Structure 1
């Protein structure tokens, strides 16, 4: 390769393979190039690249090498921003080798599993066997092999079912919270996936997953994520569209089934994203004449430590990531001042001459104007000066600690204040309740805690809510409704709740996700939910097989000209606005306002007859509500109570349990958009969910491993495994192999941080200085002879016998003896 004295970089530099250059590239006067140039298949460059005096083509990690010398000032300058001279960024590193990697499904766990694949450049297939962890052969493919750095190993999923659920996730837990910049995934002996997404969570327990980017063909982009594939959008005349800048994109890149193995996928994150966990969510595999499965041979995670501009270097290992802090800052992320200075990102800690007014209520910091700002408020305080109590707390004097309100949850929202006149706490009571703690009813003839009028009188024996004929409350023998028991018909039968005169059978059956049968009525009312409009909605046919993008009016309301979907019975469709676990919606009602019009002069057509609403579940279940016609165009209100009695599966009414099964795994909502065969246009004006009244939902007594009011989630020590579509229950909470002391991402995955003073791969041992049996319970600290460190002379102790809780200290120092080093 010939290198001229001055090198002008074109927009695209064609090296074999091509390197995509930035918009502006500053090159050195002299550029030294080796005889042989080894470049990555695709190089992702920043907007502005600053070249060193001597530039050598890298051997495969140009992005990491280039970013390693970038400072915050350069990044800000390249993006048009600015920062102080003291702002620093540490070098990015490939941290995959320091990550704990797990998967929710791995081949071989249920026994030896055969898989077959097409061979590149050859006819026919090659078959092999994947074995489980009990095998000592090289046929194991656990999740850890995705990041072990060995090109001869890989992770592999089980063989997938054609047309079935193909969702498998691979999760990497970073050594600490870091800024993720670039991800490279190299497949093993399988094609790259047809559809997948990259997601990050900033917390270790993964409760805030956020999708960074999705990849798939046109159909999967829309059906899986309700995203438009990256393409040139058609222009709609006289229509103002809303911005999509905050939505993740769905790219059709990497969707080819070629190469058949070792294909690479690259994701660059221009501004970086804070991440503690990184999840690769595989959603669909390419069709195959043989077997479908996913593999990952190599995972590269380019990330750098978050040091808030106070370090240009950090150390990373399996135990964590720690910045080498300067500017008088301390902490793993340089997140505080070592002394009493005021901490600010990108600025050195400086001692302030003015006195901090936060006192013991919080720590002093300063905003951008230099004004005092109290942070890390204590004693349940809040506010910029820690000068008020959190909601649900109160104090008598301004400097007093904030104490909990202790209001009755039935009669108040939990907030309170100190009544100076009566010298007592006064809670904010709901309508119908009274008293300082809202623990009494306001009306004379009402009964706490529901503050309803008593349904029976002293003269009559039977509870009118539970008897078949309410006019016979004074009979000697009470005739109970089907789901009611008791001499007075005043108790729900086991497995039922919510005694009510409005219910034909007296009580509702407990749902509890089909895993429990004991429940009580939930006194909490459901919340109202106003769903967004705009690009959250598409137009789909009655089978939800195809979609069309509606236009938006000047108010962001989606509308459609009917000729665009001629021949369809069409609906508004959304999975983005409302989906997932939605059992809390039961008992509420859907309320949509739709405006439609008939073309002028057209009068030969008739009204359509079709459902007002359709609910789709992820397992393929489909429920519909209403089957009516509307004759008059204009504003039409569509109301659907989310209770059994009006929802159908095919031609059959569904039960409460069937409706809740769909709500627990909701994929999408469809709203009627086609009202007349001469219809010209339609517009969705609003859609909201009205919350349910109290006592219509239940609180279940869940079995071990299940949590939530209706047992819809797994506890932190259990992992969720889906069962076959149509099963009841639809999922199972399986305990992690961590002795109930830690959580896990998958049954075969590593345990998270061990709790209860335990340690070990499965939290099976006590920490040093503790004793007990972690397999049966937690570990307690040694007392040799006392707990205080000044009088605790043995670093270790152990149970005295397999039974009982007695222990002996095992390392008494010279001069001390006895079971507790007490002599």
Structure 2
């Protein structure tokens, strides 16, 4: 229904099922607009308005005429009939419906030939939309939801950002809402081992190479994790994330595993194994014996790193010949067992107690048991007055009271020119070489020129015996007795064997160049001095034995035992003599103090001298001193002044002043 007056403006109503409109007559034309200008429409492209404008069929009904008002003056029918109209042309103008995403339309495929002004049915879409009506976004432009254009806002579809790893995507409203309506694209079919809604993550078992751009096809590299030491089958951190402590490519290690590849055990652990849920075993290192902090061990074998004197897989044992595992820098202490007092250099690992020889005590076996002693080097002294004499006599001498005696035993044997003294030796403690020392007192100002010592053996020396290298010439030694000396050491040692009895004959031939039947010399004793240079403790060749020998020689440890009487012994010599004595006797010797002549059953540890009662002498305190008699529980008694004293155990009488005793029968006690 429409109304128009002349060429002026006219209004009309589009009846039927149409909507309201306005008309403007022009050249006897009526133009109907769907949207009347009087209707306020803020956005003609809004979905609601677009739905109103959508037309599928059009019907035009001419139902009413607009008169000029004369019908009001005359209501006759013929008056109305003089009004007529003619519809000679109907032009319907419209446009294809593109939701504001196209500025033109194109023919549909297989559409009929077109005429000028014909409205086509396919939108030529813009804003990355597609479809006949631009009703959806183009492929790979789904980062925003599709929307019709709104006024000046095109609401263009936005390209998906898949970082060049995919050409397919779709819109996900849940993602769009989760991002605060910023982005809703989800990439499909990510390539190059990528994943994620934007293909911005690496797949499991791959990680982002920090040195490459995210769009690089090689940005995701395979994890290089040791399957034995990593969690989740070798999964690694996909990208750097300082806030979470993640490092791209860093493997996720088991509890006791470390390293970029999880291919090594943490400090303090060892034995990487795929079957171990924790990856590695804890080191079992004893902290006292290891040098590494935290109980570290070899990460493969589990061997601990031991201190210098510690051994064992777990560094829980001292090296042989060491003891006392502790936190000290070396870890253990050397046993330092006495080379002679102990059977070896092994000791108890807890206490350090060495394995001592018989009757030797102390942790290092450096002392003797009470009631036992270690010898002086001249322990094997054989008194001339107790020996067998030829052309000689025994001279007893009373010991001085104001200073030590310069001789041993009870006196001397006075031997004339051409005489000899035979010493019986049956107590050789150890098979080795011995230096022979002759102690004497010269009786003339001239030296005794010809002196020989002969070794009389009970049988020839076996080649397999310790003295198997001895030849007959070795058993005959020559020397002289200087007049200004009190002892002489024979130039060559003699070899003696344990368990064999020997006779050593001291022959005094010509005293001077001219024969003198009255010439004599006082022989004190013959000493067998074990030759230190023949003992293993000094010649083994190891640094310790070389040091012992150097010490023994530097302090001249044999020198004090050349002469009779006490001589001071340097402290370094004392410990070496203890070792030497223990080797010779396989331990310590019993004191064997005479119960009648001694004050105690114990003796001095060095030398074995017992504590004698008055007028009693001898190492064992077993006889009266010269000039006394009556050996008993009270010691020995001195004789009355200016009278002769019967010698109870001797075979002679002592003559004061003369110092000489003749062979007489023994006298009974008065």
Give the structure with the larger strand fraction. Answer: 1
TM-score range, shorter chain: under 0.3
TM-score (norm 1): 0.16
Q: Which of the pair has more CA radius of gyration?
A: 2
TM-score (norm 2): 0.19
